[in-house]
Structure 1
Amino acid sequence: MAEILFYHLTESTLEDALPALLERTLQRGWRAVVQAGSPERRDSLDSHLWTYRDDAFLAHGSDHEPHAEAQPVLLTTGQDNGNQATVRFVVDGASPPPAENYERMVFMFDGHDAAQVEEARAQWKTQKAAGHAVTYWQQTPERRWERKA
């Protein structure tokens, strides 16, 4: 069974929160795939991950570029796992593949977007019913993650 984490963004944007979580993923020696809800969003995240901080470098690529399989972080809109990642980030309410194919699946959703909140609730029910270990994390006013369930 996969470990399923739900990250409820209440104080920051996805662009603010995602890079740090990807950095921690890579520090653990894991590969990641980030599934966005649209090609435009995938491409926006691609640009952002190159420039999010002056003193950092987050190696990544996109599924529509050459050598996707070699990327430590792969951005996609599909359900494939082109870089054989063990961690999948699902953002923007995208429809994920089966969680069994991953050690960890992370749903990140904007608490100010009713559609994303509803999709996260539906995924919580689905993943829990499938027998996965699910946890829910919410941001504090200081933008730290606090486990709520």
Structure 2
Amino acid sequence: MNEFRFLHLERRRIDQALPDILEEALAAGKRVVVQAGSEERVEALNERLWTYADESFLPHGSARDGEPQAQPVYLTAGDDNPNGAALRVLLSGVPAAAFVKAGYERVALLFDGRDEEAVAEARREWIAVKAAGAAPSYWREGEDGGWARVR
């Protein structure tokens, strides 16, 4: 059984918090798949990851770039895992329960706590993930941008 985390953002937007999550995973030697709800969102994230910091580089790609197996971070709107990722990050709008038994070391659902619809959706996904047999954990963004486990 994989670890399943719900990450509740309170200060930053998803596109601001995601690079930190990805950098931490890459530093730990993990490959990552990030799943967005649409191809348009994938393209927006692709652009954001190229420009989020002048002093940093986050190796990533999407289907548009080819050779997905060579990408340490792969961006997709589908449920594929062409780079053999150990970590899957789901963004608001992506159903989570299908990944409970998908073989990832960790699955994380990242959602914006300032968006009532995103919070309601995360609650529905929490229930679905538990019903699928997982014991999810809930993490809240701290003032310093780190994560604190709430339950």
TM band (smaller chain)? over 0.9
The separation in 2 between residues aligned to 1:99 and 1:62, in whole angstroms, is 23
Map of 1:95 onto structure 2: 95
The separation in 1 between residues aligned to 2:124 and 2:65, in whole angstroms, is 32
Q: CA deviation at 1:64?
A: 2.9
Q: Does 1:45 align with 2:38?
A: no
Q: What is the Cα-based RMSD across aligned positions, in Å?
A: 1.4
String of CA shifts for 1:4-29, please: whole Å, max 9, x gaps.
01111111111111101101111111
The separation in 1 between residues aligned to 2:70 and 2:82, in whole angstroms, is 9
Q: TM-score, normalised by structure 2?
A: 0.91
String of CA shifts for 1:60-85, please: whole Å, max 9, x gaps.
00123211121000000001112111
Runs of 4 or more, structure 1, over 6 Å off, are: none
The amino acid that maps onto 2:100 is A
SS in 2 for 1:50: helix
Matched positions, count: 149
Aligned pairs (5 A) from 1:102-141:
102-141=104-143
Q: CA deviation at 1:132?
A: 2.1
Query: Percent same amino acid at aligned positions?
Result: 44
Map of 1:17 onto structure 2: 17
The separation in 1 between residues aligned to 2:115 and 2:44, in whole angstroms, is 18
The amino acid that maps onto 1:100 is K
The separation in 2 between residues aligned to 1:114 and 1:10, in whole angstroms, is 12
Map of 2:59 onto structure 1: 59
The separation in 2 between residues aligned to 1:64 and 1:114, in whole angstroms, is 33
SS in 1 for 2:64: coil
Q: Is the 8 A contact 1:109 1:117 kept in 2?
A: yes
The separation in 1 between residues aligned to 2:34 and 2:41, in whole angstroms, is 11
Q: Is the 8 A contact 2:8 2:111 kept in 1?
A: yes
Q: CA deviation at 1:129?
A: 2.7
The separation in 1 between residues aligned to 2:32 and 2:146, in whole angstroms, is 22
Q: CA deviation at 1:131?
A: 2.8
